Structure 1
Amino acid sequence: MLIDELVTTSAAVAATRSRLAKIDALAELLRRLEPDEIAPAVGFLVGRPRQGRVGVGWRGLSAAVETTEAAASPSITVAELDAALDRIAGAAGTGSSGERARELRELLARATEGEQHLIAGVLLGEVRTGALAGVLADAVARAADRPAEVVRRAAMLSGDLGETARVALTGAAGELEAIGLVVGRAVQPMLAATAGTPSAAIEQTGEASVEFKLDGARIQVHRAGDEVRVFTRNLADITHRVPEVVEVVRGLPVDRVILDGETLSLGEDGAPRPFQETMSRFGAENAREAVLHPWFFDVLHVDGRDLIDEPLAARLAELERIAPGHCIPGEVTADADIAERVSREALAAGHEGVVVKSIDSPYAAGRRGASWIKVKPVLSYDLVVLACEWGSGRRTGLLSNLHLGALDPTGEFGEPGGYVMVGKTFKGLTDELLRWQTEHFPEIEVRRTANTVFVAPVTVVEIAIDGVQRSSRYPGGIALRFARVKRYRDDKGPAEADTIQTLRGLLRG
């Protein structure tokens, strides 16, 4: 199949707001793929090629596109694009940058303008269909005539929608249903909704485990015998960067286990150090100044027994048995007063707040629902930087005021999978962040005016707000109230940003 057919189908999906029409278009495409094309094509559609990051950034890609004339007619097949990414990813050693640039130019020279846009999106993880992975999973179910829930579960537990699609469309009877947890293979983490107070959260969940919300980095740890692997929330393998976490898990009284938790640095007084110090360990290959301590709040598998479908109460009992010294503090209660007290204790200890989890809830991999609810004293949301304005006064010469966008997965207020501007802010920016912004944003610039640098929507920033208000200024109909920067989230991708629908939901409050 030519990748031009992916371009055409992606355009058709983006042009309609009908979920059924999107599913039909994608299912029809999937049925025409050859068996060995299925996994690569799905990876291209969701912006996650099987090669992962191949060493091509925005600047190198922009330079290649600007100096390469697009082809007049399509000729690149799915298999050829997959092979080209293999070669680009495999370039190593002296001269590898030049080799990657040459391969990229040769690929782009064979691509039409539409295909060039698709290739750019694949390389940067910014294919618009990527925000519609749920729709694509339903399309796989439609094309394969399989139950949608079975396809979604297999994709969540395997962490690979492309391979799930291949099995669904070509596998033997029962093969799709047999996909489950595999120790050593990362799964999508369960996510939490947001509430304003612990009392409000308890009202939604009923009896719950009210746990400290640590200001750390999410980790998923797998152990099989002496082999331990540690993954981030984005499923990146960082085992070699966190030897102290590996050592702790090797010391647990189990042979095979999958744990979910957080890790962070502590000061000499036992209080948590700033989030940036924890993240510096994730981003550096050899940094050892900050020692990381792991805390676990869930267990998905223990010694041959999958626990994801068991209630949280059973999972917590098992976690306490195998890792009693590394469980996140918390209490099980249905009493709002107790939940409020635990929240005050968490804040007094220097943590962010609490997470309130229904004691009866299973582990819903990859889902954000009402079973887990995070509560912070100030509302905060993960948004995407769309542009940055040049500062004035003492900030002259520095990029300062951020344009902030929320994800619009359904296209209710614009392009499906695009970002809807919801406000601006320069508050909370330290001198260090101002310098960083001024260096970083021109590297991902897409265009500029006299006062503003518009950037690729790939940078996630955590913004604290006091709420939202109705506004006709922005297309989503709302504006942030008293927005200020908390931190940049290097551990999150733009597809994980909070949605415009979530922010609009605050109006009801």
Structure 2
Amino acid sequence: MLLADLARTSQEVAATSARSRKTALLAELLGRLRGATESTEAPVVVTYLAGRLPQGRIGVGWTSFAQPVQPAGRPTLTVRQVDAALTAIAAVRGPGAQAERRARLTELLAAATAPEQEFLIRLIGGEVRQGALDAVAVDALAAAGGAEPAQVRRAVMLGGTLGAVAEALLGHGPDALAEFRLTVGRPVLPMLAHTAKSVEEALDRLGPCVVDEKLDGIRIQVHRDGPEVHVHTRTLEEITDRLPEVVAAARALPARQLVLDGEVIALDADGRALPFQQTAGRVGSRLDVPGATESLPLTPVFFDLLAVDGRELLDLPTAERHAELARLVPEPLRVRRLPVPDPADPAARRAAAAFTAEALARGQEGVVVKALDAGYTAGRRGASWLKVKPVHTLDLVVLAAEWGHGRRSGRLSNLHLGARQPDGSFAMLGKTFKGLTDALLGWQTERLDELAVERPAWGVRVRPELVVEIAFDGVQRSTRYPAGVTLRFARVLRYREDKPATAADTVETVRAFLPAEISD
């Protein structure tokens, strides 16, 4: 298949807002890959259509696209050639690697037509915004392969990758989906949660439920088969060697086979969560694991059980899975949980609110409310899990903005955010391009252009006059920024032209959001 076919389809999909039309366009393209020979391209094609690279990160940043490359006059690049080229770029290591990757990328772009170049740049930069992410791609794959969408979704969650399921379905038909089942040792995509504005709203939407603490840790999935234990992250990366305490805890449980869902977290002597960045730093450390374990031990906390001793539990209701979990896992290693069998009971609602407040006081992110009658729908944001987290906001000042890429080309996108200092100047806290609609991108490009005082190649530096309201999940230490702090998951809510820059929040206000253990 030519890359031009994908680029054209991606453009057509982006141009329509109807999900049914998006699905039909993708299904038509995927339908060309039916058959044992053709389907070998399916893993790459369907992954591209979902907006990702099979290789993951390939070590190429946006600066690699700074110099335009003369496009080819006609399409000749095949999907296989592109995949091989990107694999080779990702494999470059050692001295001069950045220059070598850039040279190889330039060679690839020179072989692409202008529409293909645009598609490749957006794909590599994670900027494919066609509405054809996994959910639509799964429906299209089901239509192309003559299978039920629910069958494909289940196969993907158990098989781990959309590409593997695509090759099996398009190459061998719907019966091949039966090969994808829960296997101890092979990670499955974790179940995710939708958001509710409050615990009260979550109780009203779910009915009988439990309220779990939402831990401020790292999601883990633990597979045990006899003495063999494997630990995976939410993205299915294996991190077993970094977490010996998790391996030891899993081996101590009274079962031969287990698949557990939970988090790993750093706790203080009172059982209160330490700042997230300490947990993340420890999990990310590959050097001197014994020393790191001694200096900052981590605790696994489990909240679900997916399989035990040859029994698959995915389809059992929450209440039954939790009962099995409680039978096998000691209380210190289980998430704090409040059953709410009757959400209409005023006393139960008060208890849920109090439980949420206590979770926040213990340093956790919030709570997750889970319906008692729901199965475990891995890999999806099921409506039966609702997370409730406090949303913090700050009024900050825009200090600069970077030119966007892909569909944001020609518009100022990534904002540099600053807070007021005692002397009236502004300290940069970080960057964000989240939450920006097309309309807002257009408006801010014009407004920031008016405020520009410098125009480096990457964007503009502006007079610190424009106030923007930013939502964020927390504040953490950072040596990258002059105030020593940065925001977690910052996103734009709205511009506050009604506020002068002198009314923006101060660095002191921002630092007050630091967890007590590390604030001054």
Q: TM-score normalized by structure 1?
A: 0.76
2:407 aligned partner: none
| Equivalent AA in structure 2 for residue 308 of structure 1 | L
Pairwise CA distance, 1:438: 11
Name the SS of the counterpart of 2:434 in structure 1. strand
In the aligned structure 1, how far is the partner of 2:237 from the partner of 2:20? 33
In the aligned structure 2, how far is the partner of 1:280 from the partner of 1:300? 28
| Equivalent AA in structure 1 for residue 49 of structure 2 | L
1:166 aligned partner: 167
In the aligned structure 1, how far is the partner of 2:309 from the partner of 2:424? 57
Pairwise CA distance, 1:245: 1.8
In the aligned structure 1, how far is the partner of 2:29 from the partner of 2:388? 42
1:444 aligned partner: none
Pairwise CA distance, 1:429: 9.2
The reply on whether 1:125 has 2:132 as its aligned counterpart is no
Q: Structure 1 residues 265-274 or 49-58, which shifts more?
A: 49-58
In the aligned structure 1, how far is the partner of 2:108 from the partner of 2:439? 35
- Per-residue deviation, residues 143-190 of structure 1 (Å, max 9, x unmatched): 112112211222222221122122221124521134222223332221
1:329 counterpart (316, 320, 336)? 336
In the aligned structure 2, how far is the partner of 1:134 from the partner of 1:43? 12
Asked whether the 8 Å contact 2:57–2:90 carries over to 1, the reply is: yes
Asked whether the 8 Å contact 1:17–1:412 carries over to 2, the reply is: no
1:243-392 residue pairs with structure 2 within 5 A?
243-286=244-287, 288=292, 289-324=295-330, 325-334=332-341, 335-378=348-391, 386-389=414-417
2:27 aligned partner: 27
- Cα distance, 1:438–1:57 mapped onto 2, change above 3 Å: farther
In the aligned structure 2, how far is the partner of 1:380 from the partner of 1:391? 13
1:216-235 residue pairs with structure 2 within 5 A?
216-235=217-236
- Per-residue deviation, residues 342-382 of structure 1 (Å, max 9, x unmatched): 2243234332332221111111112223312223355799x
Pairwise CA distance, 1:426: 9.4
Q: Cα RMSD (Å) of the superposition?
A: 3.9
The reply on whether 1:101 has 2:129 as its aligned counterpart is no
- Cα distance, 1:118–1:229 mapped onto 2, change above 3 Å: farther
Pairwise CA distance, 1:323: 1.5
Name the SS of the counterpart of 1:189 in structure 2. coil
Pairwise CA distance, 1:8: 0.4
Pairwise CA distance, 1:5: 0.8
1:153-192 residue pairs with structure 2 within 5 A?
153-192=154-193
Name the SS of the counterpart of 2:176 in structure 1. coil
1:50 counterpart (54, 71, 75)? 54
- Cα distance, 1:126–1:223 mapped onto 2, change above 3 Å: farther
Pairwise CA distance, 1:265: 0.7
| Equivalent AA in structure 2 for residue 213 of structure 1 | K
Name the SS of the counterpart of 1:181 in structure 2. coil
1:87 aligned partner: 88
In the aligned structure 1, how far is the partner of 2:315 from the partner of 2:193? 17
Pairwise CA distance, 1:45: 1.7
Identity of counterpart residues, as a percentage? 41
Unaligned regions of 5+ residues in structure 1, if any? Answer: 416-421, 442-458, 474-482, 488-509
Name the SS of the counterpart of 1:175 in structure 2. helix
2:410 aligned partner: none
The reply on whether 1:406 has 2:418 as its aligned counterpart is no
Asked whether the 8 Å contact 2:427–2:483 carries over to 1, the reply is: yes
| Equivalent AA in structure 2 for residue 53 of structure 1 | R
2:460 aligned partner: none
In the aligned structure 2, how far is the partner of 1:23 from the partner of 1:203? 33
1:497 aligned partner: none
Asked whether the 8 Å contact 2:72–2:113 carries over to 1, the reply is: yes
Asked whether the 8 Å contact 2:307–2:313 carries over to 1, the reply is: yes
Unaligned regions of 5+ residues in structure 2, if any? Answer: 342-347, 395-403, 405-412, 443-466, 498-508, 515-520
Asked whether the 8 Å contact 2:26–2:137 carries over to 1, the reply is: yes
| Equivalent AA in structure 2 for residue 332 of structure 1 | P
1:493 aligned partner: none
Name the SS of the counterpart of 1:128 in structure 2. coil
- Cα distance, 1:149–1:273 mapped onto 2, change above 3 Å: same
| Equivalent AA in structure 1 for residue 163 of structure 2 | G
2:16 aligned partner: 16
- Cα distance, 1:367–1:39 mapped onto 2, change above 3 Å: same
| Equivalent AA in structure 1 for residue 336 of structure 2 | P
In the aligned structure 2, how far is the partner of 1:391 from the partner of 1:333? 42
Pairwise CA distance, 1:3: 0.4
Pairwise CA distance, 1:213: 1.9
Determine which structure has more spread, i.e. the larger CA radius of gyration.
2
- Cα distance, 1:313–1:44 mapped onto 2, change above 3 Å: same
Pairwise CA distance, 1:427: 9.1
Q: TM-score normalized by structure 2?
A: 0.75
1:36 aligned partner: 40
Q: Structure 1 residues 154-163 or 310-319, which shifts more?
A: 154-163
Q: Structure 1 residues 70-79 or 169-178, which shifts more?
A: 169-178
| Equivalent AA in structure 1 for residue 335 of structure 2 | I
1:425 aligned partner: 470
Pairwise CA distance, 1:396: 5.0
- Cα distance, 1:43–1:414 mapped onto 2, change above 3 Å: farther
Name the SS of the counterpart of 1:337 in structure 2. helix
1:204 aligned partner: 205
| Equivalent AA in structure 1 for residue 51 of structure 2 | G
- Cα distance, 1:50–1:333 mapped onto 2, change above 3 Å: same
In the aligned structure 2, how far is the partner of 1:220 from the partner of 1:14? 35
1:451-470 residue pairs with structure 2 within 5 A?
461-462=489-490
In the aligned structure 1, how far is the partner of 2:476 from the partner of 2:24? 51
